[in-house]
Amino acid sequence: MANEVGPAARDRLDREASFHDQRYADDPRAASARFYRCSAGRAYFRRRLHELVAAQVVLDCGCGTGNTAVALAEVAAGVTGIDISSVAVTKASQRAARAGARNASFQVMDIEALEFPAATFDVVYGSGVLHHVSLPAASSEIVRVLKPGGRALFLEPLAHNPLVNLYRRMTPRQRSVDEHPLHVRDLRVLRDHFPQVDTSYFDLFTLMPAVITPMHRYLPALQRADAWLFRTVPRAQPLAWVVVVELTAAPA
């Protein structure tokens, strides 16, 4: 059964909905797009997602304007996108209609109180979603709607890098007041709900070309340096900008 949402949580959700309605009407994060273009984590997330969703029934949490969901509809058995922003859902539905993506549908919905029956989806995914919500509540809902052995994939920002945190403090309009980049301890919450939690860390040196444009030519080398560092020095992993988390539900 879906989680009950109390008054404090409802106030938070209302603030998030208002923030994201404004975001999708006039995106305040456009100025930071250069960071996303340099992100090896985002590229890995997209590749892994396409591997997981082929011929599967899929839930996109925090679907935004539907760009990813509509693209995945070409290979998935069906994609349902949810977002707390009605502005985003309207734009996503319009995008799907223009693309002729009949197996993609969109609804306004809270990830902490999903309105789907248990064991509905083969795959659940989201990008930059979990750090906006109550992680225990969202985790319990995700595992509830996943089929036995189903997979969930999330790309999330981490909270430990001091330079990234400085940038966050300098650009408050780009963030909602309630969002909370994840700490390593937050990842342990996921292990309370999923028997298998795999994490991949990305983007430390690769942030440099976003700040120093001429260094873009060195992006592949910087990606390799990040991969080596996070593989051989686990204590450096919290300094990554983002983490990709792959979750596997218990088998039947």
Nearest partner of 199 among 151, 236, 145, 242, judged by Cα: 242
Q: How far apart are CA 146 and CA 125, in angstroms?
A: 11
Q: How far apart are CA 40 and CA 222, in angstroms?
A: 10
Beta strand ranges found along 67-215 (DSSP E) = 78-83, 104-108, 121-127, 146-157, 196-202
* Residue 214 pLDDT > 80: no
* φ and ψ of 249, to 5 deg: -75, 160
119-148 per-position pLDDT tens digit: 999 999 999 999 999 999 999 999 999 999
| Residue 76, CA distances (Å) to 59, 97, 154, 234 in order | 10, 17, 18, 35
Domains of the chain as residue ranges with CATH = 7-248 (3.40.50.150)
51-89 per-position pLDDT tens digit: 999 999 999 999 999 999 999 999 999 999 999 999 999
Q: Which residue has the tokens 């298998």?
A: 196
The pLDDT value given to residue 4? 55
Task: For residue 158, give the DSSP letter.
Answer: B
Check if the beta carbon of residue 207 is closer than 8 Å to that of residue 241.
Answer: yes
Beta strand ranges found along the chain (DSSP E) = 57-61, 78-83, 104-108, 121-127, 146-157, 196-202, 242-248
Check if the beta carbon of residue 101 is closer than 8 Å to that of residue 78.
Answer: no
83-93 per-position pLDDT tens digit: 999 999 999 99
Strand 57-61: give its sheet, edge to edge: 104-108, 78-83, 57-61, 121-127, 146-157, 242-248, 196-202
Q: What is the mean pLDDT of residues 155-162?
A: 96
* Residue 190 pLDDT > 60: yes
State the sign of the Cα–Cα–Cα–Cα dihedral 48, 50, 56, 57. Answer: positive
**Number of residues in the chain:** 252
Residue type, 135: L
Nearest partner of 126 among 167, 80, 161, judged by Cα: 80
Task: For residue 249, give the DSSP letter.
Answer: P
The pLDDT value given to residue 35? 64
Residue type, 140: S
Nearest partner of 219 among 204, 240, 230, judged by Cα: 204
Retrieve residue 161's tokens. 């890098």
Residue 27, classed as helix, strand or coil, is coil
Q: What is the mean pLDDT of residues 18-40?
A: 71
pTM of the model as a whole:
0.91
